[in-house]
Structure 1
């Protein structure tokens, strides 16, 4: 017999603790239909991390024990039932959405005119980030994008980065570090090749990993970082996000698991980006495919997400640099750092896909961190310079920045 003990988390994402009367590795749970267990985050057995295979509401852990934890998505954000216990989830305050991935508030948030750039004014990174550098970094750009479109080009990237003067600003070294971070993040989102768990590639600063080191897939001799920008939407997940607050799904629209360089997801984020780009949140809510085939939107959506604070989550920009884009961003960031969490790539990863954090780093984190190093070195920086004031240990980072540090 399995007993439900407790759960903690948000309206949409919880970690449950369960106890079995006898030692086992297989749990067959009686759950309500709105509980979807998350195999990607793994679980724990008697306090030790463990892989877990999920078959509906049947869980098979790699280790045997009596006390288990497992994370789950609550697909409608409402009360759920496990082992005969009904649990009410925390309500999102002020219409805010506490999604574990690509989160945002329930209201479309427009970046102020002061934060917007002028597309006719050159961005500082254009002084060193040239078309030749772009071509060298991304030989397989547009490899297999949606409907055969080719949205990635140096011209499109530079045109759209001018709208975000706060991105990759400051001294040239800081510009290079933040651009390397964005491209490293993108490598796991739209790259055509990821690292694998286990192998000879040991990444400096990343010590708590699922297996020892990482390795390159053998189907091509070209390293994974050469395969960035291969897609314009996430592969293998051509489905709508069916759970969200504030913006229900529109007829005949799909808000994909990922569209654009950073894989914009959920109706609320389409609304926020549409408000910024068009001044009307309905444009992209009614034309969601634009974000994965229009060259400007493919790029601008990622830069917008990187620079925009949302709900109780700091902007990716602030997570990486420590420089807030506004007062709310500053307050969110300080709540998190006051708990001891450090700025850097790990916190930015938590802002993009928090389910990769607070667990031993797997190939997803390895791909992002390796990309950060490789692009940074291509820009002339050393690994020590890239790790300077930049924390990368995702196992020691909060998995959900929407709740971490909130009073």
Structure 2
């Protein structure tokens, strides 16, 4: 009886350990791989030098339990590659002849460059705070008060009052990107649902050319500018990052990587 109990406890501990590993993004992307993927983010020329740490990425990712824990190992690795690729495009400092190629320069910037406008629009639910600006910040370059508001609510931090936190606190910064990635915004599905295969296109989606694959995540993020217009540099840049990251993580990128023939969701 005692032996059976010990075996049961051992089995439970092993199962708990396996579940813990599945719930922690570190089981799929080590610090070494993270550094390889975002190779030049701490270059002296990068505004975000020293900001986007592996530890902040892990802490933020693990606060969204379904991220990189949905599906088989191949699917989970693709989600990591897709998230880092899309956010790398949004924050890239690369150029065509950059050292190690243009796709080794993700996360070079943490906020919109130049002198951006305030990105404040009238919204009763998410009103702008006096004197605050809601321009692009963080890995996903979250912008507008109607995004800062619900993102802040989701991560339990008042980003309407303190939007600068997205550029000053690395964990909060990553959390806003994961919020956008994991949250559907009708009629758009979430990027998470698309890249993990949970999203099933409707008849309308199919007629619009929106079929499962990485390309739909681009459509979700910036479809109005990049999708349904044939090949363009922005869309191809997103694909370039994704292919490189999939290669580093040892996973095939899958099909339907572009959105050249997809109509935007709001079109």
Which residue number in structure 2 is paired with residue 393 of structure 1? 258
TM superposition shift of 1:337: 3.2
**Paired residues, what number?**
241
Distance 1:226 1:271, change over 3 A: same
Q: Distance in 2 between matches of 1:335 and 1:285?
A: 38
2:82 aligned with 1:174? no
TM superposition shift of 1:309: 1.1
SS at match of 2:112: coil
Q: Distance in 1 between matches of 2:230 and 2:115?
A: 24
Which residue number in structure 1 is paired with residue 174 of structure 2? 299
TM superposition shift of 1:345: 1.4
Choose which of 222, 226, 231 in structure 1 pairs with 2:109. Answer: 231
Distance 1:251 1:142, change over 3 A: farther
Q: Distance in 1 between matches of 2:127 and 2:62?
A: 32
- 1:14-53 equivalence runs, <5 A: none
Choose which of 128, 140, 146 in structure 1 pairs with 2:40. Answer: 140
SS at match of 2:159: helix
TM superposition shift of 1:307: 0.2
Output the TM-score relative to the length of structure 2: 0.82
2:250 aligned with 1:380? yes
2:118 aligned with 1:240? yes
Q: For structure 2, which runs of at least 5 residues remain unmatched after alignment? A: 1-19
Choose which of 160, 174, 178 in structure 1 pairs with 2:60. Answer: 160
RMSD: 2.2
2:134 aligned with 1:221? no
SS at match of 1:173: helix
Structure with greater strand share of residues: 1
TM superposition shift of 1:237: 5.6
Q: Distance in 2 between matches of 1:269 and 1:244?
A: 13
SS at match of 2:260: helix
Choose which of 178, 181, 188 in structure 2 pairs with 1:313. Answer: 188
Which residue number in structure 1 is paired with residue 217 of structure 2? 348
TM superposition shift of 1:241: 1.1
- 1:238-317 equivalence runs, <5 A: 238-243=116-121, 245-246=123-124, 247-256=126-135, 258-278=136-156, 283-317=158-192
Q: Distance in 2 between matches of 1:259 and 1:183?
A: 15
Distance 1:176 1:222, change over 3 A: same
Q: 2:56·2:174 contact (CA, 8 Å) conserved in 1?
A: yes
TM superposition shift of 1:141: 2.0
SS at match of 1:249: coil
Q: 1:164·1:303 contact (CA, 8 Å) conserved in 2?
A: yes
